[in-house]
Amino acid sequence: MNLTTKIVAALVLGAIVGLLLNLTAPNVFEVLNTYLFVPVGQIFLSLINMLVVPLVFFSIVLGSAGLGDPQKLGRIGAKTIGYFLITTCIAVIIGLILAAVIQPGAAGEFDTAGAEFSTEEAPPVSETLMNIIPKNPINAMAEGNMLQLIVFAVFIGFALTALGEKTKGILSLVNQGNEIMMYLVGLVMRFAPYGTFALIATAIGTQGWNAILAMGSYMLVVLAALFIHSAITYGGTVAFLAKKNPLWFFKKFAPAMGVAFSTSSSNATLPVSMEVAQRDLKVPEPISSFVQPLGATINMDGTAIMQGVATMFIAQAYGIDLTMGELATVVLTAVLASIGTAGVPGVGLIMLAMVLGSVGLPVEGIGLIIGIDRLLDMTRTAVNITGDAACALYVGETEKNRNLQAVGRA
């Protein structure tokens, strides 16, 4: 059995075991969960998280040094960020339209009076963007502040290119560091089927199924929007911009989606999604190294979809109509909120407070959906990282063609 099949089988088995135990033998689940699923899941999470900071650092230094001239880096940067912004806008709009048509918030009685949620944790996006240059790069690494880490690494990459011969030694050191990290990713991935099984069994087994039934229509709208966005926006990117077969793309990228699904963390999935993109999708290393870590940090289409649907849902549940102007505000703030969302579990929901606040919707409304958010978080994280890979493939293919043309002209 190859790794993809093993991971998919582990996901399905983990879900079945979690569900069956939850419904038929909760006590047995408690024991198994405490002594088996949680420890195995946590070990897997720690193993991949351990690789994230050094991998992102080494690969971005190499990526920006490998791209060579600043003009090329600028062009790739503009293409990447442009793609991220446009697709995230499309994502929110799909979420809003679907929720406006299906009206999940009008489909039942929701306890709006009893809903509670406190907002203290949401950091303003302006602050995140202003702090993009680290005062202390070691601190940024220690805290795992991805944006700061990326900026520092790009600077180092630039310097290595500018200094050329003088710093050849450091460049080969970084290269070897990257080799070591990629080797370790491959090693850790052998453990992935067990890790994903355990994480899924915990996630599914600890759900309150009554809550899920009550929130069924909201969940279905989010899932449908995630599916439509993946099929049309990413499928379209692969087919028309990268000129590749979308089925090939989704099939090759499936192991990374499986890991995202079980970990609910774009950051934790990064080592795997980069490996898959470089090895199986043949995205050139400097491009994957630049696009994917940046995407895992700022490009969250799945999260934006959830925020669009959730905003509509909460407005409907509270019986509040949103004007066209307010909807435009929702699109803008959801794009910003998804940029500000860190690639770790559950943060998208906290950032939703910002979107609701921007159009005066009650932030306590988040209390209505918090109970079932974990299942949606798994799915939207898989979409989040797929968007990054689609972008990496698109940028990689168009840059390849450009180089070929340049060679042809020479």
Binding site for ligand ASP (CB under 6 A): 264-266, 300, 303, 341, 343-348, 377, 380-381, 384
- Tell me whether residue 79 or residue 374 sits nearer to ligand ASP (CB atom): 374
Q: Name the minimum Å distance from CB 303 to ligand ASP.
A: 3
Q: Name the minimum Å distance from CB 227 to ligand ASP.
A: 17
- Tell me whether residue 66 or residue 348 sits nearer to ligand ASP (CB atom): 348
Integer Cα distance of 183 and 40 in angstroms? 22
Output the six-digit token pair for 330.
């929702």
- With CB atoms as reference, the residue minimizing the distance to ligand ASP is 348
- Tell me whether residue 141 or residue 334 sits nearer to ligand ASP (CB atom): 334
Integer Cα distance of 194 and 179 in angstroms? 25
Q: Name the minimum Å distance from CB 145 to ligand ASP.
A: 15
287, 392 Cβ separation under 8 angstroms:
yes
314, 368 Cβ separation under 8 angstroms:
yes
Q: Name the minimum Å distance from CB 371 to ligand ASP.
A: 15
- Tell me whether residue 66 or residue 343 sits nearer to ligand ASP (CB atom): 343
- Longest pairwise C-alpha distance within the chain: 72
- Tell me whether residue 80 or residue 303 sits nearer to ligand ASP (CB atom): 303
Alpha helices by DSSP H, 164-208: 168-189, 192-205
- Tell me whether residue 104 or residue 343 sits nearer to ligand ASP (CB atom): 343
H or E element that contains 18: helix 3-24
Residue found under tokens 């994480």: 199
383, 230 Cβ separation under 8 angstroms:
yes
Output the six-digit token pair for 231.
């099929």
Q: Name the minimum Å distance from CB 91 to ligand ASP.
A: 12
- Tell me whether residue 364 or residue 377 sits nearer to ligand ASP (CB atom): 377
- Tell me whether residue 249 or residue 261 sits nearer to ligand ASP (CB atom): 261
**CB-CB neighbours of 304 under 10 Å:** 36
Encode 56-105 in three state secondary structure: HHHHHHHHHHHCCCHHHHHHHHHHHHHHHHHHHHHHHHHHHHHHHHHCHH
Integer Cα distance of 164 and 348 in angstroms? 42
In sequence order, what DSSP letters do the residues of 235-300 get, joined into one string? Answer: HHIIIIIS-S-HHHHHHHHHHHHHHHHHH--HHHHHHHHHHHHHHTS---HHHHHHHHHHHHHH--
